[in-house]
Amino acid sequence: MTTPTGLPVMQETTYDVGGKKIFVAETGEGPPVLLLHGGGPGASGVSNYTRNIAGLAAEYRVIVPDLPGYGRSSKGVDGADPFGHLADHIRGLLDRLGLDRAHLVGNSYGGACALRLALDTPDRVDRMVLMGPGGVGTTRTVPTAGLRSLLAYYNGDGPSRPKLEKFIRNYLVFNAAGVPDSAIDERYRASIDPEVVASPPLRRPSGRGALRTLWKSDFTRDPRLSRLPVPTLVLWGAKDQVNRPSGGRMLADRLPNCDLYLVANTGHWVQFEQAGLFNRVCSDFLAGRR
């Protein structure tokens, strides 16, 4: 059975994890796969993977949380170690779900969450798929225009629909016409939740501990990366204007068990812009059919 949007009917549950409420939607049967969404304004799990859930659910138990700070989960993220904060709560979610191990699929902010979880506790991750993950080489170059646009959303005159549309159409995707107005409207409504405006989950580090946070948030500075045994597939849009595609090569050079797929004519949202390709490649990699 599917909904009017074409998504399968999903079971919705909210779990208490480390004192935070984590909202989860899931469907399908098979090996468990967590889909971890990106950190743009108004993001949430199901909306970020709307073109992938049904395809993956044909073979897997697809588990789609809203990360802390987003969607229907509790707001607020530890600014001193945001990736660690996300990873701790997703690991806690695995515990609540009774899962010793799972596949992780993460886009951008969610990719950084997945990678940090794998570095801290590699025994909890079967295979991992990362799409333009955050935290790769971020201390080795200046931020991209797309990342600056994202980080500035709640600054200045505050959030607005024109600001969000500019970020999505100019920076998030390669083909601006491929994003319907309704998707921007939905994300804008979520982005102006008063709790989110009061404590945006994705911010540029500041204050006395900013340098330490920046350093800790760059995975290419972490010596554990070269020893991580988890089989990993990195997908990166060749036209990504948020996180530089050169990050894919950085990961492939450091991770000992990593495949790299650079996707032509695609921006930061590989799973949305190239959904058919993504669903096939992701399913095959997670099943070990590469």
Q: Which residues belong to the active site?
A: 268
Of 25, 15, 219, which is closest to residue 113 (Cα–Cα)?
Answer: 219
Beta strands in the chain (DSSP E): 11-17, 20-27, 32-36, 61-65, 102-107, 125-131, 232-237, 258-263
Q: What are phi and psi of 95, to 5 degrees?
A: -60, -45
Place of tokens 């950084």: 112
Q: Which two tokens stand for residue 231?
A: 């089989």
Where b means 16+ CB within 10 Å and e means fewer, 167-177 reads: bbeebbbbeee
Q: How far apart are the first and last CA of the chain?
A: 30
Contacts of 168 (CB under 8 A, 6+ apart): 40, 176, 179, 183, 184, 187
